[in-house]
Structure 1
Amino acid sequence: MVLGVLLVLIGSGVAYAQETPLVDARQQNQNARIREGVASGEVTRAEAKKLRAEQRNIRRTEHRAEADGTVTDRERARLQRKQNRASRDISRQKHDRQDRPRAN
């Protein structure tokens, strides 16, 4: 019986996690862009902190949208707008000519 319950929980978790695969893939891409910007010095620590907070906000929005088991078109559009804004913010921070000082 316990095994049955575990299988149901695992199965529902897989369905839950795959409700927004495009959002998840884009989140990974944006997180990689932030890491690359920090590594190259194009993004300062303060900028990275703000960009990561923006990514956390998108993740929270995604979890709330998935909470009832269905992500509506309106919720998808909201997530896309937030991701578009975050993408622009990452680009702006990477190209704002404000570099992190490098260690010698």
Structure 2
Amino acid sequence: MKTVRAISLLIAVAAAPAFAQNAQQDVNRNINQQSRIESGLQSGQLTTREAARLERREAAVDKAESRAMRDGTVSATEQARITRMQNGVSADIRAEKHDAQTGNPQSASSQRMQADVQRDINQQKRIAAGVNNGSLTNHEAAKLENGQARTARQEARAGSDGHVGAAEQTRIQKNENRQSRRIHREKHDAQHHG
């Protein structure tokens, strides 16, 4: 019995760096893709509606990451699925940025979407830092990715008609503020990974 426990503990300790590495890679990829969406909005390569569709896809990736991390490990099958989803979003970003549609980066709607996407990038960076330095456990990171998915879905709904209104942005910002407080709380509680 002691041997089984020792082996289980050894496997858990050995798997922790692999999980952290996968989680770190996934969160860094999220940051990269959010940055590409924001740069597309800023350059006019993306319309608000296109950015909203991409945010919906990003929400699905965040949700898949959350589900995969929930049990503390990301299996090879789960990682392959997340990577496929991320590759699909990446291809969609490229296609949307290089199609014939152009947005007006100076419009109030685009400015609102740009601000929301930038906030997503900041939140993802904070999660990545917590995963990297061990201040976030696997379970905490999973909950936070679920919160990121919720925010991305809200942004997608707001921009689905091609316009993000001031009232819609206010609701999104309230959700982003709650998520920011969650990230702070989870990073500074007594639980640590590793």
TM > 0.5 between the two? yes
Structure 1 match to 2:94: 91
Distance (whole Å) between structure 2 residues aligned to residue 51 and residue 103 of structure 1: 20
Fraction of identical pairs, as percent: 37
Q: CA RMSD in A?
A: 1.9
Structure 2 match to 1:22: 25
Structure 2 match to 1:47: 50
Residue-by-residue CA offset, 1:21-60 (whole Å, 9 max, x unaligned):
1111000000000000001100001000010111111001
Runs of 4+ in 1 over 2 A off after TM superposition: 101-104
Alignment of 1:71-82 (within 5 A): 71-82=74-85
Structure 2 match to 1:57: 60
Q: Which letter does structure 2 place at the counterpart of 1:94? A: K
Distance (whole Å) between structure 1 residues aligned to residue 104 and residue 38 of structure 2: 16
Distance (whole Å) between structure 1 residues aligned to residue 103 and residue 80 of structure 2: 34
Normalising by the residue count of structure 1, what TM-score does the alignment of the two structures yield? 0.79
Normalising by the residue count of structure 2, what TM-score does the alignment of the two structures yield? 0.43
Distance (whole Å) between structure 1 residues aligned to residue 51 and residue 40 of structure 2: 8
Give the match's secondary structure for 2:73. coil
CA separation of 1:100 and 1:86: change in aligned 2, threshold 3 A? same
Distance (whole Å) between structure 2 residues aligned to residue 73 and residue 26 of structure 1: 17
The aligned length equals 89
Deviation at 1:97, TM superposition (A): 2.0
Deviation at 1:20, TM superposition (A): 1.0
What 5-or-longer segments of structure 2 have no aligned partner?
Answer: 1-15, 108-194
Distance (whole Å) between structure 2 residues aligned to residue 84 and residue 92 of structure 1: 12
CA separation of 1:35 and 1:68: change in aligned 2, threshold 3 A? same
What 5-or-longer segments of structure 1 have no aligned partner?
Answer: 1-14
Q: Which has the higher contact order (CA 8 A, sep 6+)?
A: 1
Q: Which letter does structure 1 place at the counterpart of 2:66? A: H
Contact between 2:43 and 2:105, CA under 8 Å: does it hold in 1? no
Distance (whole Å) between structure 2 residues aligned to residue 103 and residue 23 of structure 1: 31
